[in-house]
Structure 1
């Protein structure tokens, strides 16, 4: 009897998670290949068992209650772990093969993903990789993307995201520029310097530079003499003495190691966002590799 209760409870959690993610009982039923009434009854039994209302229903729409929002995140986490459990077991039984479609921003793909692809292919020779680099957000489901790596927060609540690493940014300049123009000691000192800024291709907006002063974070939009919509172009301009600019440390790091760039205002550095990955169910190999 206890086993039956546990199985029934898990079915309710799965049904609730699908309804919450897809936004309707019909879509959830279609995805699970069962009837809408079965989905509705399963969610209703789960609510009765928990003693809370998870979904507020009207004739035209449904919304998650505060309790539903909280438990939806927990349900997704539980199902993700169960899915990975099955996939890890499957991966031990057979040699992986097939095609993995990966999308990422250009700098992340060039500096963080591409250098590791040869080792990945050596480890999994029957797995092919289709790497698509763009700053625009692809529809993972519509375009059949297996893994998306992005900087920032999820834009699609249907997707499960995991943080890979903080996206650390810092101001940099060439030694020649700093010798010629001096070294700023505060963010306010940037007003007296040549600045090089990055413009987002997706929105057309220029980057606001984040600096932490104690417990306060301030964002500055510098009066830039040069603006570029490519991170590597910004760094190339800085290396050649074009001024002071903001760059992710994973891009500027090799130039710093060679003495071509110097961190500026480093004590004010702030990690504003994280690098995350969203993956489909068939992409556990690359997710584990990361």
Structure 2
């Protein structure tokens, strides 16, 4: 039987990742090598097969008809290889190796990253590859072990666990309120300067969600300052830039220091949840089990950040 060379196997992996993710740079990040290494592996594979797998432009990669046919086969190869690796991981009793985790930027910076040193003290043989960003990640295609996302997301290939409410709050600096007064109802916000958040994924401005009795009251303020980063929203508010909405885990340190004051809490509509997800193939992984258990210690009920804001 003909033997496949290590070089061609590497080329198939590079090709499958680049096709799934749409660029050599993203594929390189997924497999932990340089973009040029991925590009050269794919080029050698094309030369060996005598096929053009990608139509290349300066901005993207597009599969050729031949590339589309081979892509599905190459993906099955990767999934089988990962299944072998996960079987070996599950056979160990002690967490070890590398755990790939993807988290939205603000949750990663404020909650997950500060909790990692304690996690590694307990499991020193397990290193963490923490990837921060708001873009959608296909866990299975990118070989991610655990994702933390906002919302109740359903995918039949994934296992999920709710960690905590994703609580937002209305805040202003004490100095701003001393100058401009304190709003008593959501309708009063029209008389104030506002700071708003814009989603990076869609470019849409955040609609502020309130309740007036049983009736939802939702509007987008005419904001003087708009930014696509939650930390920037909190920084502008704390500097006296107006009234704004931001997650409680971002605002809590400011509230503890007396730099922000919660407003209109009784009118805010409950939001979604912070949820952990992991592939079915990782169900028996001691690495994933250990990390999910650690997240349970981090996301207590009530969470420290919600408790700080409520006090």
Which range, TM-score by smaller chain? 0.5 to 0.7
Q: Which residue of 2 aligns with 1:130?
A: 129
| Structure 2: distance between partners of 1:124 and 1:158 | 27
Provide the secondary structure at the position in 2 that maps to 1:196.
strand
RMSD: 1.6
Q: Is the 8 A contact 1:98 1:127 kept in 2?
A: yes
Alpha-carbon deviations, 1:193-248, whole Å to 9, x = none?
11100011111111111112223332221111110000000000001000000011
Deviation at 1:157, TM superposition (A): 4.1
Distance in 2, matches of 1:133 and 1:155, equals 21
Match for residue 104 of structure 1? 103
Question: Deviation of residue 159 (structure 1)?
Answer: 2.0
User: Which residue number in structure 2 is paired with residue 233 of structure 1?
Assistant: 232
Contact 1:279 1:287 in 2 (8 A): no
Q: Structure 2 residue aligned with 1:288, among 269, 272, 293? A: 293
8 A contact 1:170–1:270 mirrored in 2: no
SS of the counterpart of 1:138? coil
Instruction: Summarize the Cα distance change of 1:136–1:175 in structure 2 as closer, same or farther, 3 Å threshold.
Output: same
* Offset of residue 272 of structure 1: 1.2
Q: Counterparts of 2:184 and 2:127 in 1: how far apart (Å)?
A: 49
Q: Give the CA deviation at 1:155.
A: 5.9
Counterpart of 1:60 in structure 2 is none
User: Structure 1: how far apart are the matches of 2:130 and 2:293?
Assistant: 17
Please report how far the alpha carbon of residue 140 of structure 1 lies from its aligned counterpart in structure 2 after TM superposition: 0.5
- C-alpha contact (below 8 Å) 1:168/1:270 kept by paired residues: no
Q: Structure 2: how far apart are the matches of 1:254 and 1:125?
A: 29
SS state at 2:270 partner: strand
CA contact (8 A) 1:210 1:219 kept: yes
Encode CA deviations 1:53-85: one digit per residue, 9 max, x unaligned. Answer: xxxxxxxxxxxxxxxxxxxxxxxxxxxxxxxxx
The alpha-carbon distance between structure 1 residues 95 and 159, as it changes in their structure 2 partners (threshold 3 A), is closer
1:242 aligned to 2:241? yes
SS across alignment from 2:275: strand
CA distance in 1, matches of 2:228, 2:265: 24
Contact 1:197 1:246 in 2 (8 A): yes
Alignment gaps of 5+ in structure 1: 1-86
Offset, 1:261: 0.2
- In the alignment of these two chains, the number of paired residues is 201
Q: Write the distance in 2 (CA, Å) between the matches of 1:146 and 1:216.
A: 41
| Correspondence for 1:187 | 186
How do 1:168-187 and structure 2 match up within 5 A?
168-187=167-186
Residue aligning to 1:63: none
Structure 2 unaligned spans of 5+: 1-86, 296-311
- Counterpart CA distance in 2 for 1:157 and 1:181 is 51
Structure 1: how far apart are the matches of 2:141 and 2:236? 38
- CA deviations on 1:133-158 (whole Å, 9 max, x unpaired) are 00111110111010010111316443
Q: Distance in 1 between matches of 2:169 and 2:129?
A: 31
Distance 1:219 1:140, change over 3 A: same
